[in-house]
Amino acid sequence: MTRLRSRSTSFDVAALAGVSQSVVSRAFNPGSSIAEETRKKVIAAARKLNYVPNSIASSLTTKRTNIVALILGNMANPFYVHVLHNFSQRLQEMGRQVLTFTVDPGAESDDAIMRVLQYQVDGVILTSAQLSTRMTSICHERGIPIVLFNRYIPGSDASGVRCDNAAGGRQIAEAFLAAGAKSFAMITGDPKGTTSQDRVRGFVERLLEEGIRRTDIEEIEGNSSYEGAASAALKLFKNRKRPSPDALFGINDIMAMGAMDALRSRLGMRIPDDLMVGGFDDIPEARRLPYQLTTVRQPIDLMVEETLSILHLDDPTQQIERGIDRPITGKLIWRNTIPVPPAYRWAADNSGETDAS
Amino acid sequence: MTRLRSRSTSFDVAALAGVSQSVVSRAFNPGSSIAEETRKKVIAAARKLNYVPNSIASSLTTKRTNIVALILGNMANPFYVHVLHNFSQRLQEMGRQVLTFTVDPGAESDDAIMRVLQYQVDGVILTSAQLSTRMTSICHERGIPIVLFNRYIPGSDASGVRCDNAAGGRQIAEAFLAAGAKSFAMITGDPKGTTSQDRVRGFVERLLEEGIRRTDIEEIEGNSSYEGAASAALKLFKNRKRPSPDALFGINDIMAMGAMDALRSRLGMRIPDDLMVGGFDDIPEARRLPYQLTTVRQPIDLMVEETLSILHLDDPTQQIERGIDRPITGKLIWRNTIPVPPAYRWAADNSGETDAS
DNA sequence: GTGAAAGCGCTAACAT
DNA sequence: ATGTTAGCGCTTTCAC
């Protein structure tokens, strides 16, 4: 323990400043009644001793740690990296920090939650991982709000914020149709995840409405990864008996990109000439020169804001908001993987894009 | 405070189990002397009450939070995302969690460190951000070990683990030379960062040894980003009076990729036919079909292990290791952006690569 | 092996 | 505005 000796405490500061320990506490807690002059005196003493308030100790009495847990599956999808970055930044601005928990994609997050609980976090944000209802209620019982990010469990107590995935799927379908596509394929993600399901559902619905036959909509799983999508695409397009589809919907950008690369390098296909491609997420990589992917942008900033507001971090006395499902509409970003039909030109010009160079 | 009422404590468990509170504590601390039978009784009671030990409270006495701070600049470089992921996984396995701090790239990390201190973390890992020596000594004084990841401050007290960047730079130079290149260019990163400097230095040194003239080694800054490198590459290759260089060294993969994309799409250049390209890091993206980048692989796993060992997380009584500089040698991965000279074929076959499909 | 009691560093009444 | 005091939930001697 020798290493830990020299942490000075509020008592040390108090002694040096010639005040009581509680005055030191007040000096560091904005809003407490303390004379400006004594405050300065205390701060000076604190500086001299390199004193930093021990937030662990204060948590014990305040019951707030100013820590928010972020449970992440699948860091291989850049989208979730951006999500993490966003939360981290925003929470830091609010004087909070992110405690990161990683869970293998698809795995139950139950043990992660139990670990979270030990740290007495003020809230938990869960992305791309399963959550049992038992865990939800354990958190809620203990007063810890939990919100699912891009994931929801219909009829459960857990609140969630997500992109309106079905609507987004429809938008991509719409774009394909407007560009004249007649036959379609999808590379789907985790079949158990509502995210993938909803995008697929919206996409297919819109197509069926337009009189497309279900047999003209093929489907293959891409494992939510670049590599998975690359091999799925190859499987789909190599040695076909029936004619190739006109349009391919990658349920997320990273899979659309994997498919594009594989199809171009291996099969020499040209995009959009031989095949139109649509994605979902609008990760920064989607606008890069080799891709210029037409995709649905998830409004991350908004979704993050919404998530934080449900967490009520500044007001723990608020009732936990249960069972909220907040779908947020994405925006179709026209780039080069779907030919822009005349009727949509204004939208394409509107996207406010400048290219990478 | 109504929300926070129902957290049950070790006293509640003790009461239910019919033992004293200290027994409950022992039941949850492996290695304490407690009869197996009572242990089971306690665990059962705990389960019934959904009791989870409050690690914040125990930190107060043990002086260990089991939290490690990770300070990140530049999440835009996928390399650091993988670093984060690695640390997060490994630390979780060790029963610790990562508290994430983000700092604007290039910014001072001093205020981040002060925030870190409040949380009484057991150690701090700092990547791609500046660190003042004052902060180093503040941490050390308080018994908090800090290690710089891929960054070092010569002659400072701070320990660091890094790839041997100079040696890596030499390896790329070597590969270019072996492939017959005579004139060279580099796209460099943060000019203040030792990482970029060292890679450049090793690269240039090797070239000069071989009799290459300094004027045949051009240099341009790429801002450590895909976009920055893309425009830098264009600036370098567009409207030249002198002949184009044979080989381009992107100081990191993400910049090499940006340059490749720009040069191919905008200038129609073919790689490696018109220009060889070498990178550094070996991020997963580097092996993707459009890139197949020949690069120096940073042995992340090893570097992470080394970092953790310097942190001495399991034994806080250990003296903090100061001023260590642990360079770890990277490995050249032959792919397709530098033609493999006959003498190197075995190495290329050795890389153990299977491609994305 | 178990219980009693004294803190860990702080905040939050309550006095003054 | 400042000081006093009693905890917050746990670990850790120290007795037994």
Instruction: Give strand C nucleotides closer than 7 A to any protein Cβ.
Output: 1-5, 7-13
CB contact under 8 A, A55 and B7: no
Judge whether residue B120 contacts strand D, using its CB and a 7 Å cut-off: no
Grouping H, G, I as helix, E, B as strand and the rest as coil, residue A7 is: coil
Note the pTM of the prediction, 2 decimals.
0.94
- Return the residue matching tokens 């005349």: A342
Question: Which residues in chain A touch residue B55, judged by CB atoms under 8 angstroms apart?
Answer: 118-120
Return residue ranges of chain A for CATH 3.40.50.2300.
67-163+300-328, 165-299+332-349
What is the band of B348 on the pLDDT scale with cuts at 50, 70, 90? confident
- List Cβ<8 Å contacts ≥24 apart for B9-14: B9/B51, B9/B54, B10/B51, B10/B53, B12/B49, B12/B51, B13/B42, B13/B45, B13/B46, B13/B49, B13/B51, B14/B42
Higher pLDDT, B234 or A2: B234
Picking from B85, B143, B316, the nearest residue to A75 by CB comes out as B85
Distance CA B200, CA B188 (A): 7
pLDDT for B355 equals 47
pLDDT for A239 equals 87
- Tell me which residue of B306, B293, B287, B295 sits closest to B331, measured CA to CA: B295
- Return the residue matching tokens 């690569």: B353
Query: How many residues in chain A?
Result: 357
CB contact under 8 A, A261 and B289: yes
- Tell me which residue of B56, B317, B132, B141 sits closest to A8, measured CA to CA: B141
Report residue B55 CA to chain centroid gap.
28
Distance A22 CA to C16 C1' (A): 15
What is the band of B2 on the pLDDT scale with cuts at 50, 70, 90? very low
CB contact under 8 A, A3 and B289: no
**Chain A interface, best mutation among B140, B288, B292, by max A CB count within 10 A:** B288
> How far is the first Cα of chain A from the last one, in angstroms, to the nearest whole number?
55
- Tell me which residue of A79, A41, A230, A236 sits closest to A162, measured CA to CA: A79
Q: Where are the beta strands (DSSP E) in B184-227?
A: 184-188, 217-221
Q: Are B252 and B79 in contact (CB under 8 A)?
A: yes
Distance A44 CA to D5 C1' (A): 27
CA distance A123 to chain B (A): 12
Q: How many CB pairs (< 8 A) connect A and B?
A: 175
CA atoms within 13 A on the CB side of B83: 31
Residue A354 structure tokens? 């400048």
Q: Are B69 and B119 in contact (CB under 8 A)?
A: yes
Q: Domain B165-299+332-349 adopts which CATH fold? A: Rossmann fold (3.40.50)
Q: Are B323 and B158 in contact (CB under 8 A)?
A: yes
pLDDT for B319 equals 92
Which residues have a Cβ under 8 Å from the Cβ of A192 and sit 6 or more positions away? Answer: A106, A130
**Phi, psi values for residue A209, rounded to 5°:** -55, -35
Q: Helix and strand tally (H, E) in chain A?
A: 13, 12
Mean pLDDT of B37-53: 96
pLDDT at A152 > cutoff 90: no
Question: Which residues in chain B touch residue A2, judged by CB atoms under 8 angstroms apart?
Answer: 317
Q: Are A71 and A101 in contact (CB under 8 A)?
A: yes
Distance A23 CA to D4 C1' (A): 12
pLDDT tens-digit map of A267-289: 999 999 999 999 999 999 999 99
Q: What percent of chain A has a predicted confidence (pLDDT) above 90?
A: 82
Lowest mean pLDDT among A97-106, A295-304, B221-230, B302-311: A97-106
Mean pLDDT of B217-221: 97
pLDDT for B129 equals 75
Q: What is the mean pLDDT of chain B?
A: 93
pLDDT tens-digit map of A98-148: 999 999 877 888 889 999 999 999 999 999 777 888 889 999 999 999 999
pLDDT for B151 equals 87
Mean pLDDT of A45-49: 95
Q: Domain B67-163+300-328 adopts which CATH fold? A: Rossmann fold (3.40.50)
**Phi, psi values for residue B188, rounded to 5°:** -100, 165
User: Residue B52, CA: closest nucleotide via C1'?
Assistant: D9
Angle at B258 between CA B252 and CA B264, to 5 degrees: 130
User: Given the DSSP bridges, would you call strands A123-127 and B123-127 parallel, antiparallel or unpaired?
Assistant: unpaired
Question: Which residues in chain A touch residue B321, judged by CB atoms under 8 angstroms apart?
Answer: none
Question: Which residues in chain B touch residue A267, judged by CB atoms under 8 angstroms apart?
Answer: none
User: Given the DSSP bridges, would you call strands A294-297 and A325-328 parallel, antiparallel or unpaired?
Assistant: unpaired
pLDDT for B154 equals 83
User: Residue A38, CA: closest nucleotide via C1'?
Assistant: D1
**Chain B interface, best mutation among A64, A67, A100, by max B CB count within 10 A:** A100
pLDDT at A166 > cutoff 70: yes
User: Residue A22, CA: closest nucleotide via C1'?
Assistant: D3
Instruction: Give strand D nucleotides closer than 7 A to any protein Cβ.
Output: 1-5, 7-13
pLDDT at A150 > cutoff 60: yes
pLDDT for A130 equals 79
User: Given the DSSP bridges, would you call strands A331-333 and A184-188 parallel, antiparallel or unpaired?
Assistant: unpaired
Q: What percent of chain A has a predicted confidence (pLDDT) above 70?
A: 96
CA distance A98 to chain B (A): 6
pLDDT at B74 > cutoff 60: yes
pLDDT for A110 equals 87
Reported as type and span, the H/E element at residue B276 is: strand B276-281
Reported as type and span, the H/E element at residue B25 is: helix B21-27
pLDDT for A3 equals 56
pLDDT for A357 equals 40
Question: Per mean pLDDT, which of A160-169, B236-245, B348-357 is the most reliable?
Answer: A160-169
CA distance B142 to chain A (A): 5
pLDDT at A78 > cutoff 80: yes
Q: Are B51 and B36 in contact (CB under 8 A)?
A: no
Grouping H, G, I as helix, E, B as strand and the rest as coil, residue B97 is: strand
pLDDT for B353 equals 64
What is the band of B4 on the pLDDT scale with cuts at 50, 70, 90? low
Buried/exposed code over A18-53 (b: 16+ C-beta within 10 A; e: otherwise)? ebeeebbbbbbeeeeebeeebbebbbebbeebebbb
User: Residue B10, CA: closest nucleotide via C1'?
Assistant: D9
pLDDT at B196 > cutoff 70: yes
Residue A274 structure tokens? 């031989």
**Phi, psi values for residue A330, rounded to 5°:** -85, 180
pLDDT for B345 equals 84
Judge whether residue A19 contacts strand D, using its CB and a 7 Å cut-off: yes
Which sign, positive or negative, has the C-alpha torsion A33, A34, A40, A43? negative
Which residues have a Cβ under 8 Å from the Cβ of A258 and sit 6 or more positions away? Answer: A222, A225, A226, A227, A228, A229, A230, A233, A250, B356
Which sign, positive or negative, has the C-alpha torsion A330, A335, A337, A343? positive
pLDDT for A1 equals 41
Picking from A60, A138, A264, the nearest residue to B57 by CB comes out as A60
pLDDT at B168 > cutoff 60: yes
Distance B62 CA to D8 C1' (A): 16
Angle at B200 between CA B196 and CA B205, to 5 degrees: 150
